[in-house]
């Protein structure tokens, strides 16, 4: 089944002709031996973009998170993150399965917690029966938090606290470049307070596969061992990395269009009776449909009859994610279709 207007996620994009051409023409070699020039070029470029010594190409964002956790933590350690963070819900329990660590969840506001909340969550090292707090992980932008952007000064305060306690900082930067385009603050400035940070090439940048994890030389050297151990060391990955290089050249600035589309969608839906719309910051629009008497899944079913798909993310909460593959007129059509379903009339 394909949807004409697929707002399920910004992962729904498919490479266009130019990206495919760049992939087909890539110079390649064995990445495990450091002999793939295109993979090396992408890693170097992203290390520079994020202001880190080194970077490593990985197949997925989940693997970036899990390798970073594995490097930073031992069994029995604890990782502080927002209660709605991706690794807590959508990574098959890998924090415990692969690192033997556990999550200390914080009830944040739109996926963002305060330095006071972080301070309360840190375990006292003087007591032998507590887990050891080893890592604070934050999501930029927050996914289930509504695509919100963590403020730079909050990050700075939390990083200073972490450093006082010898705790490492990790950024799940799946959509970090959205925060960069939204605020004009360079990626390296966002990444500076973090020991490890990654970006996803398949989230709104239009690539079919790939994420890149960055940090110090020592961090990336250890990450490489777990990349092999977790089965993520590839061979001629340059074909995939060529898509990443193409995306960095062509698909970053245009994220502003996705933000504008999300803003316009939310603004129109906010005027519709029976919808409770969260105001968007980047490319995600969340709204609640309880007042329509429909569940989120039922609401989505009705949209799917019109070949428009959103994503139900709770019993009555839906998410629409804008991206580069939306056809001409998609936002207006979506506004009309959602309005029709919400007000109970057939469009």
Return residues touching ligand PLP (CB under 6 A). Answer: 60-62, 65, 86, 139, 143, 172, 174, 200, 202-203, 211
Could you tell me the smallest distance in angstroms from the CB atom of residue 139 to ligand PLP? 5
Residue 77 vs 172, nearer CB to ligand PLP: 172
Q: CB within 8 A of 331, min separation 6: which ones?
A: 261, 264, 265, 322
Closest CA to 306 of 336, 277, 264, 276: 336
CB-nearer residue toward ligand PLP: 14 or 128: 14
CB of 230 vs ligand PLP, minimal distance in Å: 12
Closest to ligand PLP by CB, 54 vs 175, is 175
- How many other C-beta atoms can be found within 10 angstroms of the C-beta atom of residue 125? 11
- Please say whether the beta carbons of 51 and 192 come within 8 A: yes
CB of 138 to ligand PLP, least distance (A): 10
Query: Is 247:30 a contact under the CB 8 Å cutoff?
Result: no
- Tokens linked to 13: 């994009």
Nearest-CB residue for ligand PLP: 61
Q: Note whether 287 and 296 are within 8 A (CB).
A: no
Q: Which is nearer to ligand PLP, 6 or 172 (CB)?
A: 172
155 token code pair: 């990050």
Of residues 234 and 275, the one with the C-beta less far from ligand PLP: 234
Rounded to an integer, what distance in angstroms lies between the CA atom of residue 196 and that of residue 137? 9
Least CB distance from residue 85 to ligand PLP, whole Å?
7
Three-class SS state of 261:
helix
Q: Is 296 exposed, middle or buried (0-12, 13-18, 19+ CB in 10 A)?
A: buried
Helices 217-229 and 61-72: angle between axes, nearest 10 degrees: 110
Nearest in space to 175 (alpha carbons), one of 86, 115, 73: 86
Whichever of 294 and 320 has its CB closer to ligand PLP, that residue is 320
Minimum distance from CB of 202 to ligand PLP (Å)?
6
**Measured from the CB of residue 269, what is the shortest distance to ligand PLP in angstroms?**
22
Minimum CB–partner distance for residue 320 and ligand PLP (Å): 15
Instruction: Point out which residues pair with 54 in neighbouring strands.
Output: 215
Q: Which is nearer to ligand PLP, 118 or 179 (CB)?
A: 179
């Amino acid at each position: 089944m394909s949807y004409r207007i697929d707002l399920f996620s910004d992962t729904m994009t498919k490479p266009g002709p130019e990206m495919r051409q760049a992939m087909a023409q890539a110079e390649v070699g064995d990445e495990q031996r450091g002999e793939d020039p295109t993979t090396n070029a992408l890693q170097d470029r992203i290390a520079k973009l994020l202001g880190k010594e080194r970077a490593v190409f990985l197949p997925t964002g989940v693997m970036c998170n899990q390798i970073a956790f594995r490097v930073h933590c031992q069994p029995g350690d604890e990782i502080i993150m927002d209660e709605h963070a991706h690794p807590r819900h959508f990574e098959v329990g890998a924090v415990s399965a692969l690192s033997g660590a556990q999550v200390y969840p914080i009830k944040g506001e739109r996926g963002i917690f305060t330095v006071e909340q972080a301070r309360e969550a840190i375990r006292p090292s003087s007591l032998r029966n507590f887990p050891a707090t080893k890592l604070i992980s934050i999501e930029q932008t927050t996914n289930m938090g509504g695509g919100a952007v963590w403020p730079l000064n909050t990050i700075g305060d939390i990083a200073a606290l972490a450093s006082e306690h010898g705790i490492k900082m990790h950024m799940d930067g799946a959509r970090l470049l959205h925060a960069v385009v939204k605020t004009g603050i360079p990626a390296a400035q966002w990444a500076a307070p973090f020991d490890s940070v990654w970006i996803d090439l398949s989230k709104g940048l239009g690539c079919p596969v790939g994420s890149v994890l960055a940090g110090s030389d020592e961090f990336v050297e250890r990450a490489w061992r777990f990349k092999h151990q977790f089965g993520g060391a590839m061979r001629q990955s340059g074909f995939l990395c060529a898509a990443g290089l193409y995306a960095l050249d062509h698909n970053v600035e245009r994220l502003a269009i996705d933000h504008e589309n999300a803003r316009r969608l939310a603004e129109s839906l906010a005027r519709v009776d029976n919808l409770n719309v969260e105001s968007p910051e980047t490319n995600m629009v969340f709204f609640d449909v309880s007042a329509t008497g429909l569940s989120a899944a039922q609401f989505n079913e009705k949209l799917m009859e019109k070949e428009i798909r959103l994503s139900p993310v709770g019993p009555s909460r839906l998410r629409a994610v804008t991206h580069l593959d939306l056809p001409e007129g998609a936002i207006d059509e979506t506004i009309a279709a959602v309005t029709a379903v919400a007000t109970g009339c057939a469009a």
